Structures are given as C-alpha cells and as structure tokens.
Amino acid sequence: MKKLLSLALVLLLSLSLATALAQGTVNVFNWEDYINDEVIALFEEETGIKVNYMRFTLNEDMLVQVRTSPGAFDVVFPSDYAIERLISEGLLQEIDFDRVPHAEGNTLEWLRNPDYDPEHKFSVPYMWGTVGILYDTTKVEEPIDSWGALFDERYKGEVFMLDSPRDTLGVALKYLGYSVNSKNPLEIQEAANLLIDQKQRGIVKAYQVDETKDKMVAGEGTLAVVWSGDAQYAINLNPDLAYVVPKEGSNVWVDGMVIPASAANYDNALAFIDFLSRSDIAQMNAEYIEYSSPNLGAIELMGEDYLDNPNLNPSQEVIDNCEFFHDNQEVKVLYDTYWGQVKNAK
C-alpha cells in the first residue's frame, strides 16, 4: 500500500511539475497578418501557455522596440538582414535546438545554414518569399516583366510603392543594375533620384504596406510593389491579377524566429518555436498567410497545388537571380536620408 501511495505521490508531483512548467506566458512580436489565429489557439490549448501577441509593420520599427524594451519579447520574427544586425549587436540568445526537434532536419537545404546566421545558432526560418510586381492584367498593354513598368508614364497615378526604405530603394537599385545591398553613395543617390522623379511625375499613387493587397483586389491600382505572399492573397480574390519577379532580379527574403537575449520566458519561447515548426502547424500557417514555407513536411502536405505555383515555389533560376538583403548599418544613415528625400519630394 505504501508503494502504491508513493507511486501515486510521484505521479501527482510529476503532473504538478509539468503543469507548472507549462503555465505562464510567451510574448510574441510578429508582423501584421502573419499567423493563423487558430494556431495560437491550438498552442494555448495544447501547452497551457498564454500567447501575448504583438505586431509590427517594418523591420526598422521592430529593431527599435527590441533595443529599447528589454524583457518585453520572447519570440520575434525579423527578416534576414535584421537577424544579422541583432546578432551583431548581441541582442539574441542561442536557440537550444535539442528542444526544437521539429525544426531540425525539416528545413529546406538552402536555408539550413543561411549567411545571415552563418553558424545557425540564433534563428529558425518561418517564411520566405520574393519582392515583385502585382499587376492588373486588364489594365496593361502587355505582360509586365521589368521594374521599368513602375516608372512608365502610361501608369501615371496607378502605381503603389512599398512604404519601406530598404525594399523600395532596393527596387530602384536593381532596375539601375546595382545590388540591393549597395553601399556606394552615388548608386544610392541615383536610386533615390529615380524614385523622386517617379513621384514628381505623378506616377506613384501611394506609399503603403499592408493595405496594398486589398486595394489591388478592389481594382484601385494597376501596378504594385508587393511581397509574394500578399500577391498570392490578392490573386486568390481577383483572378485578373498576376505577379512577376522582374527580369532585373529582386530580393529573396526569409523571416525567422529568434529569441531576444533579454527574453523573460526562454522555455516558453522554445516551445512556441517548436510548435510552429511542426509540419501540420507550418502547413496551416503557410496556407493562411500564402507565403513560401521553409518546412519540408509542410510542403509535402500541401502537395502539387503548392509545388506548381511559381509565386509560392519560384524556379531556382528566379531565386538565383535574387539577393538576400544584408545588414547595412554602416550606410543606414545614407538610406534613411535619401528615403526622407523621396518621401518629402513635391
């Protein structure tokens, strides 16, 4: 009887300990419209951990918040170059990959050792995609294949540009034949001048981010610089829309999951990252967000509908013609200064 009581006590203590470990909160800082709400509900149901979900719209805004709000975030979703910068500033802590088993071996080969996290210590890929042009096939005279269309007088007042210095200056740099990572002041100035001229000629309808996809669905523009997932979302709702990565090349990006050095809930952060790396959960998010998944299991579950879609699964030729953004901290003042000139141009 004593043995049975002892065993019962051990089991009770084990259950109590498991419950205690599961209790608490994970503070998540992610992009707008970038997770399936059902995924959050499932995580809370399965783990007992409450998700405190916060949102940002630009990497630059996120970086400021992580720097100035220690302890506020447990899991953050920066893009590649922002991950690189956070690593260089010592603002991330290493991920214990033994405790995120769903991520290990379940990632696309070309993303397993990315150059923005060369030792693969600090990040797990969440989504990836390209930057390109979403266009209304009923309003253009020919299929769009070049960034040059954004500067064409024929589309005056009909072009939405991204309200993002890195992306929009990157578009102009690529069109001019330069790298999206240019650190040459003359090249950056030339790109800014091209964008200023575009604005002054009345070609730009607006600089915006999340609202662009819905405005294109509603037929409020002809051309828009968008991320590939937003393009697919819009195309699903309006089949007259099409998406292209221009022939001059573009940016291929990755958003990853990282844990700030100041995170208050490291264990819960690992649990959240591992949950999102599970194949069925990664599938739910990819199908909801309409971005490209780095998760091999999710890709297998999505099957031909995903594999045959060039917007979500671009060819290796398209990928090879694109560049990752890299940290440009040493010339960030130049980018910010010239972007300010673009936005303030009359």
The reported pLDDT for the residue numbered 12 is 40
Does residue 327 have a pLDDT over 50?
A: yes
- Side-chain-side CA neighbours of 243 within 13 Å: the count stands at 28
- Segment 53-81 shows an average pLDDT of 96
* Domain spans in the chain, listed from the N-terminal domain onward: 20-128+253-313, 129-252+319-344
Pairing, β 241-244 against β 124-136: antiparallel
Q: Position of tokens 């991320």?
A: 227
Tokens of 248: 């001059």
Reported as a single tens digit per residue, the pLDDT across 275-291 is 999 999 999 999 999 89
pLDDT, residue 183, reads 96
Among positive and negative, which fits the CA dihedral 110, 180, 132, 125?
positive
Average pLDDT over the chain, rounded to whole?
A: 92
Orientation angle between helical segments 185-200 and 332-344, nearest 10 degrees: 20
Judge contact between 293 and 235, C-beta under 8 A: no
Q: What is the pLDDT of residue 14?
A: 38
What superfamily would CATH give domain 129-252+319-344?
Periplasmic binding protein-like II (3.40.190.10)
Please tell me which residue, 159 or 4, carries the higher pLDDT value.
159
Same fold, 20-128+253-313 and 129-252+319-344: yes
Question: Residues 171-229: pLDDT tens digits?
Answer: 999 999 999 999 999 999 999 999 999 999 999 999 999 899 999 999 999 999 999 99
Instruction: Give the C-alpha separation, 65 to 61, whole Å.
Output: 6
Q: The domain 20-128+253-313 is classified under which CATH number: 3.40.250.10, 3.20.20.70, 3.40.190.10, 3.40.50.300?
A: 3.40.190.10
Q: How many C-beta atoms surround the C-beta of residue 320 within 10 A? A: 11
Query: Can you tell me the distance from the alpha carbon of 312 to that of 309, in angstroms, rounded to the nearest whole number?
Result: 6
Q: Taking 60 as the threshold, does the pLDDT of residue 94 lie above it?
A: yes
Q: How confident is the model at residue 11 (pLDDT cuts 50, 70, 90)?
A: very low
Phi, psi of 57, rounded to the nearest 5 degrees? -120, -15
Local structure of 206: helix, strand or coil: strand
